[in-house]
Every structure is written in structure tokens, then in C-alpha cells.
Structure 1
Amino acid sequence: MHSSDTSGTEVPVPIKVLPHGEGLALPAYATDGAAGMDVVSAEDVTIAAGARHAVATGLAVAIPHGFEIQVRPRSGLALKHGITVANAPGTIDSDYRGEVKVILINHGTAPFEIRRGDRVAQLVLAPVTRASWLPVQELDETVRGEGGFGSTGGVVSLGN
């Protein structure tokens, strides 16, 4: 199999275009190697510096059981404008059928204008592994042990 052959790896996800999403591009991979699909805004909105907004996409999806869609920031918007997904990565559960919205936050210093059709985030379809709790009296020992935030080092200014 050639490394660029992706046959058999796609999972069909039913998608419904809502009335205000008519005429917009469906989420799409920008390149063959892209993990996320760019999703566009279905509205014009300006997000003030420090503010948040749930940006409409004009789409609803039926994610197959056993999967989720992760809503992730676009790196260019984050680097150039301080625009990111407030709850990154956001999760769309397989039983949700409402409109997909992207909660963007403006960490920049200027208002940020979004126009209908602008790419605002990436959507990544991912498998979900569900946990079951196993109550125990003791946990196994590790080198780290109970060391908390910053305990593994890496930043000189944090100290030990």
C-alpha cells in the first residue's frame, strides 16, 4: 500500500446543512496529511479583545457511536491574532444533534472580525475509549509519585 493511500480509513459522518449554512463549504481537509478539517463561520461577528463568542457553523452532525469530534484552534489565528478555542479542544459527543458552534476567545489586543465563510477552527474525528473505575486501596508506585504541577521540571524559573 502506498503511504498516501487512505482507502478504508474514512468514517462516514452524516451532516445536515442548516438554513443559515446554505452555500458554505462543508468542513474539508486542506491537504492530504491534515488531521483536522477546516470549518467555516456561518455568521459575521466581531469578537472584542478579551471576549468570547459561540460562532455558528450552520451545520449539525450525527457522529457515529464510539467517536467524538474535537474542535481545535487554527494555529495561524492563534499566532497572528490571539484567537483560540476557549475550551480547547472542544468535544462534540456522538449523541448531540444540535448546531455545531465554535467557542472562540480573543486573547489579542484588538477586536477580531469574522466574516461568513472564514475558516475559524479545525474538526478532528477521534475514537473514544470509555473508562470504568476500579476502586483499590493503594496505587502502584512510580518515580514521580505524588509530584504535582511543575514537579517534572523543564522550566528553570519554576525551581524544583
Structure 2
Amino acid sequence: MNGVESVEIEVVRLAHGRDLALPDYATAAAAGADLLAAIDGEIELGPLERKIVPTGISLALPVGFEAQVRPRSGLAAKNGITVANAPGTIDADYRGEVGVILINLSREPFKITRGMRIAQLVIARHARAIWREVGELDRTARGAGGFGSTGVATGDAKTGTG
């Protein structure tokens, strides 16, 4: 694809996902590929209930890459359905089935059916940190300010230690 890095990911379709499509991108510029529910019948997710939904696939990611399981914005906005551990991380050495931990944050039950697009998968490079303990960190304008210290409106930012 023009200007977009590609990486080959080995995928195994498990028996209960044989008839379902592999993860696919909805548009040419989409970052996330849709994951499908590989379930028999349907699952009802009650208000504030969470369940691991199988996808019927296992992956082999190259070392230096991870797969991030993220919510689908339409399910979140319209139905209050999101990924409980968003983003969920699939490491390069994991070979089990990709499962999606869905949670219903609405007041209404939600039905998940076979083949439903339930989440998206983003493939990303990552680095491993080499931790170097120091006695003090360099100073920045933001300092230790966090958890809303920069405000919500333009010009709200505090300086110094926040």
C-alpha cells in the first residue's frame, strides 16, 4: 500500500472460526483490522457485564511487534460496548486464541452474534526499555503535573510543578 509499512502476520484459523473471514481493514487507510466473534449462536452481555469473546484465530507476530486489541468506535458510541482492557496487548510470543474482553457500559443488554465485528486489531512496533536508575530527572515546564493539570481549555496549562 502506498507509503504504509506492511508486515506479514501468520494466522491460524481455529476449528470454530473456519467459516469466518480473517481480520480485514474496512477501508484502504484504516489502522485497525476488524476482529469477528467466533461464537455459536449469540452471547447476551448484560449491563456492566464482561465476557471474553473468542475470535477463532491465533497469531504469530514477529519479535518487535505487538497486536493491540481496541474497541470499535461505533459499538462504543451507539451501544456502550468497549474493550475492558483497552488496548489489550498480544505479545509476539503468545500463540493462543485471540480473545476480546468486552464490557457493556450501557443500561441495556447487548447481543453479540456469530461473525459480528467486535473489536479492531492494530499491529504496532515496540521497543524494549533499558532501565537506567538516576538520582534526579531533568526539569521540564510541565514538571510533575498530571491527571488534568494542563486543563481542558486552550490556555489552561499550568507551568512548573503543576
TM above 0.5, yes or no, is yes
Secondary structure at the aligned position of 2:61 is classed as: coil
Alignment of 1:1-160 (within 5 A): 5=2, 9-43=5-39, 44-154=42-152
The offset of 1:6, in angstroms, is 5.2
- Give the distance between the partners of 1:68 and 1:147, measured in 2 at CA: 30
The offset of 1:146, in angstroms, is 1.8
Secondary structure at the aligned position of 1:77 is classed as: helix
- Give the distance between the partners of 1:28 and 1:144, measured in 2 at CA: 41
* TM-score with structure 2 setting the length: 0.90
Secondary structure at the aligned position of 1:53 is classed as: strand
Secondary structure at the aligned position of 1:38 is classed as: strand
Structure 1 residue runs of 5 or longer lacking an equivalent are none
* TM-score with structure 1 setting the length: 0.91
Deviations 1:87-128 (A, max 9, x none): 101100000000000000000111110101000000000001
Amino acid at match of 2:21: A
- Give the distance between the partners of 1:41 and 1:148, measured in 2 at CA: 38
Moved over 4 A (4+): none
Structure 2 residue runs of 5 or longer lacking an equivalent are none
Amino acid at match of 1:99: E
The alignment covers a number of residue pairs equal to: 154
Amino acid at match of 2:111: E
- Give the distance between the partners of 1:150 and 1:45, measured in 2 at CA: 38
Secondary structure at the aligned position of 2:76 is classed as: helix
Secondary structure at the aligned position of 2:74 is classed as: helix
